[in-house]
Amino acid sequence: MSELKFSDLVEPVVLDQKTALRVTVLGGGSFGTAMANTAARNGCDTKIWIRDPSVAEEINATHVNKRYLADYTLEASLRAESDLEKAVRDRDIILVAIPSHSFRDVLKQIKPFISAQAVISLTKGIEAKSFSFMSDIIRAELPEVPYGVLSGPNLAKEIMAGMPAGTVIASDSELVRYAVQQALHSALFRVFGSDDVHGVELGGALKNIYAVAMGMAAAYKVGENTKSMILTRALAEMSRFAVKLGANPLTFLGLSGVGDLFATCNSPLSRNYQVGFALGSGKTLDQATKELGQTAEGINTIVQVNTRAQELDVYMPITTALYEVIFEGAPPLNIAVSLMKNGHRSDVEFVLPHNEV
Catalytic sites, residue numbers: 207
Residue in 99, 72, 66 with CA at minimum distance from that of residue 294: 99
The three-state (H, E, C) secondary structure of 216-285, written as one string: HHHHCCCCHHHHHHHHHHHHHHHHHHHHHCCCCHHHHHCHHHHHHHHHHHCCCCCHHHHHHHHHHCCCCH
Residue 273 in contact with residue 215, Cβ under 8 Å?
A: yes
Separation in Å, CA 200 to CA 7, 206, 258, 260: 27, 10, 11, 10
What b-and-e string marks burial along 101-138, b requiring 16 or more CB atoms within 10 Å of the CB? Answer: ebbbebbeebeebbebbbbbbbbbbbbeeeebbbbbbb
Residue in 331, 136, 154, 338 with CA at minimum distance from that of residue 237: 338
Separation in Å, CA 90 to CA 114, 117, 183, 355: 8, 8, 16, 52
> What angle do helix axes 197-219 and 317-327 make, rounded to 10 degrees?
60
Distance from C-alpha of 106 to C-alpha of 6, rounded to nearest angstrom:
26
